[in-house]
Chain A
Amino acid sequence: MIGESVLAVDDIQGMIAPGYRKPKQNLLHFRIADFASVRRWLGSLTLTSARRTQEQHGRFKQLAALLGHEPRDFDAVFQACALSANGLRQLMGDKAVADFADMPFKAGLAERSGILGDPATGAGSPAQWVVGGDNPVDVMLVVAGDDETRLEAATQALLDAAATNGLSNIHIDRGRERVGEEAGHEQFGFKDGVSRPALRGRNSDAQDDFFEPREANAPDYGGSNGLPFAAPGRPLLWPGQILFGYDEQDLNSPDRPAPSTVHTGPSWAKNGSFLVFRRLRQNVDAFNGFLDKTAQSLNEQGWKPPLTAEKVGAILVGRWRSGAPIMVSPGQDGGEAFVTNDFGFAQARTIDFPSGPIAQPEDLDGAVCPRAAHIRKVNPRDLTTDRGPAVRTLVRLPLRRGITYDLAQTGSPGAGVDNDKGLLFLAFHRSIEFSFEFLMTHWVRQSDAPEGDAGHDPILSSGTGRFIKLHNNGNEFRVPIPGGWVLPTGGEYFFMPGRSFFQNLDAIA
């Protein structure tokens, strides 16, 4: 048994891990006007550590248990800070960025958006982004909390202080979890954030003081390369998969880490992580219209039993709107009781639910969950892929921290676009190239990857000639994907350093 590192939980920013899990997150985007002032001011910021975030999560749980419901005015407000390559250059000089091996970070998201499949001109192109692209961002501050009043007060205080300390605010994104029955669902209506890998590592020298607690019923799919889990559906990642300076995920073994020399960065990057931010506008009407038309078209072509638009959505996403995966609930939406991430595609398994065991079939052909269904594309789980054994998928997984936004909900000043709602995609990785960009350029955008004869990711892929192959009663259906329901309207690649970085800027530079 190889020991897991002690994580610097007082230095790691809590947004990276364990993640804020807050229903309200404001992303404040700035350009550096006076780098000397900014350097001084950033060092004075109170950024929330991983330990503090953990403690507040514990307190939240305790209160929820006492109250019998989640506290509505929980007072914790979390803060984080990240820098784009351009921001880092201004604060620390060109070498600071050059010392990273990751080419996408150095180039910046706007330069890379073309290979992600973004339009080169017109709507969706970097020239038209509300933040990033032609409106470059150097510094992003994140403020998160439960209580709107406290959150906005903290936000205003930060904006005021930033303005007097050399930062020019260029845009604010107000991420808000949807409310009521839609809480936790993205704008198309699907439960999001069900898939959450767990970070290996410990809080202290105590052997079992794990950063992410391990549940006794976590499955181990066995075999020399069986995938270990912290809890059902939560695969364990070595911390260096996300953070600089730690043992990394080995390509061929989930149990043995790769040395932390892999994927070099400067020594001061330890405890930091790359943050991919994408502001994705969602056209809900266009997506729902596509589901209606596709259901009608497939029914006319002989799909049995007849499809509803809701079922088509579940087939394309791989989950029902409730979040229940179609691999465990193939016929109809099993509802919240069947929301799980504990399933696969390659091996038949029995999965225990409170209502009883469910037999999850082997689905190598994609007869139940199409090979190009969104969740199968971006996380093929136990499948062998075009990159080899299933264990290699682990090196592609990020920690996602996204949140929905809706200008109609927040009343925020927008980009002059009606009905501007969507997802503030936020994900952490130690290598943008091997993780986020790989997923987008290879698995989302190619019709023959991670599995052949599949089609394109129907949610995220864009461009002409897109399609998805579906199967019903032995017949194959090739469904064109016009796309256009997810439009990039902003974003940047950031580095979120450890907290001590900001205090030591003079020494590091």
Chain B
Amino acid sequence: MIILHPTAGTHEFDAVPKLVEAWQEMLQKLTDFMLFTPPTGRERSRAELSAIEELKAWGRDRRDIRYYNPLTMAPPAGSAVQNVHWGALPTSFDQDPRFGGDRNKIFEFLDAPQDDVDDNGDPVKSRQQDEYCEWVVQTSGGKIRRVIFTSEPALFYQFLFDPAAVIQGIDPTAPDPNVDRNASRSLLVEIYRNRTGDATVNLADLLDGRGNYTSFNRWNNDFAVHLQQTNNTLGAEVNIAVRSSLLRAKGGTGPLKQDAADLIDCGAYGVAARQSDPAIGAAVNSFARRNEFLTLADPVGLYMTGLDTTGWSAPNGADPRSFWTVRAGHGDPDPEKAMIVRAEFAVDPASGFTVSDIKIGGIPIQFGGQIADGIGMRLGALVGPVSSLPAPRPIGCVRETIPAHLQPQVAAAGPRRISMPRRGRS
């Protein structure tokens, strides 16, 4: 039975036998990895411990976490989706001295891929839009023709390239899901062709020099097929949700931390400068503080909720809203339900004008960020009613020294050697 469906509930995976099941298996492994982490491999800091490991380091145990894996525990009766919302336009650069608060300079920066490195450490140009929504601006004759937005995780595509490698990268002991790799790679190419509208895409275009799938392939660079910014990953989403469900208090006792900035600083999950990570962490923690069991709502993903075009004006009295098209996932007038992972704002060249001729509050669109400012984002958590179990006990912060009286009698809290994918990247 499928409980965890592919992002946005798309049916593209249906084309390859066992792919949907393998995706579920992968999500389960990913969740368990964040919760438990198999204890072998490289040395880790306390910030890299799994949630249960961190609880144990503070003398707590699995009774003190309210995040659960929906494949190993049925959602409590009465569970309902509660969303966390944020804006698609990054605010991390609002006070960056490089831009002096000049919004046009920030927009210009956000539209242009910047120097970065890929997972191999090789130099690449990467999008810097850091709110789980990325975009590319396509121009013609100096005018904006189309702006493409995506919130599809890279993991979706990495998984298509090699389902077994992704699953076994998380859990080396996991069995091969027996997905026909050639078929899934054909689907990968097919989806790329669909997203780019270009039938010439082939598999070799999507690979790096080592023959591995790379998020920095030219088609993704040019068409924003999926997220590529370092921290915009599904793994980060799961990690933040799991880690922020731990209750925190100074020294592991006393008043519970509630402030979003305090929590993210204390729990060392996600990126504090973003809107999304602290907001997700604070919301998840508030559910756990109320002793409510939670998990990420199916289908797990980071979704655009829509575009607000109030006050926009287009030539010839055209409705600016008509230029917004959802290309993957689905839109909904209710932002609590919308599940958009790909959309574009584009003007048909035959109309006689371009996106650049559309104005927002009297100001012509010059940058993709101006449009992104009107896009909402959400993540859904499935939250149960208040549990009858004893309330979970808090732990301290990852950088705190654990008081001797809280340390476990047997297991040492120190680092161990384990093998694990990097948290924060999918």
Contacts and interface: CB of A to CB of B under 8 A. Distances in A.
Interface string B343-385: 0000000000000000011110000000000001010000000
A384 B336 CA distance: 18
A389 B282 contact: yes
Interface in B249-302: 257-262, 264-265, 272-275, 278-279, 282-283, 286
Interface string A75-114: 0000000000000000000000000010110011001111
A434 B310 contact: no
A262 B100 contact: yes
A442 B95 contact: no
A252 B102 contact: no
B103 A225 contact: no
Contacts of A259: 97
B176 interface: no
B305 interface: yes
A451 interface: yes
A347 B260 CA distance: 12
A207 interface: no
Contacts of A390: 259-261
Nearest to A112: B361
A252 B286 contact: no
Contacts of B311: 112-117, 441
Interface residues of B, number: 47
B258 A388 contact: no
B85 A449 contact: yes
A263 interface: yes
Contacts of A117: 310-311
Interface stretch (B4-12, B59-67, B86-94, B114-122): B86-94
Contact of A388 (B97, B274, B310): B274
Given A446-B376, A447-B335, A448-B378, A101 B94 contact: no
Given A116-B311, A387-B87, A224 B262 contact: yes
A169 B194 CA distance: 62
A213 interface: no
B313 interface: yes
B139 interface: no
A107 B361 contact: yes
Contacts of B336: 448, 452-453
B82 interface: yes
Nearest to B362: A111
Contact of A107 (B83, B308, B362): B362
A224 B258 CA distance: 12
A258 B91 CA distance: 15
Contacts of B335: 446-448, 452
A442 B87 contact: yes
B332 to A, nearest CB: 12
Contacts of B212: none
Interface string B371-402: 00000101000000000000000000000000
A101 B278 contact: no
Contacts of A224: 261-262, 265
B201 interface: no
B182 interface: no
B260 A389 contact: yes
Interface in A111-155: 111-117
A103 B94 contact: no
A433 interface: yes
A68 interface: no
B207 interface: no
B104 interface: yes
Contacts of B85: 386, 448-449, 451-452
B84 interface: yes
A305 B27 CA distance: 46
A226 B85 CA distance: 23
Contact of A384 (B97, B103, B282, B363): B282
B415 interface: no
A342 interface: no
Nearest to B262: A223
Nearest to B264: A389
A431 B260 contact: no
B101 interface: yes
A463 B309 CA distance: 13
A392 B166 CA distance: 38
A5 interface: no
Contacts of A103: 103-104, 363
Given A225-B262, A386-B86, A448-B83, A263 B101 contact: yes
A363 B333 CA distance: 27
Contacts of B97: 259, 261-262
A251 B260 CA distance: 13
Contact of A104 (B95, B258, B361): B361
Nearest to A258: B95
A252 B103 contact: no
Nearest to B290: A364
A154 B133 CA distance: 56
Interface in A239-291: 248, 250-252, 258-259, 261-264
The 10 closest A-B pairs by CB, nearest first: A111-B362, A115-B311, A114-B311, A263-B101, A389-B261, A384-B282, A389-B260, A384-B260, A225-B261, A115-B361
19 contacts: A101-B104, A111-B362, A111-B363, A112-B361, A115-B360, A115-B361, A223-B262, A250-B95, A251-B91, A263-B101, A346-B259, A384-B282, A386-B87, A387-B86, A388-B260, A446-B335, A448-B376, A452-B83, A452-B336
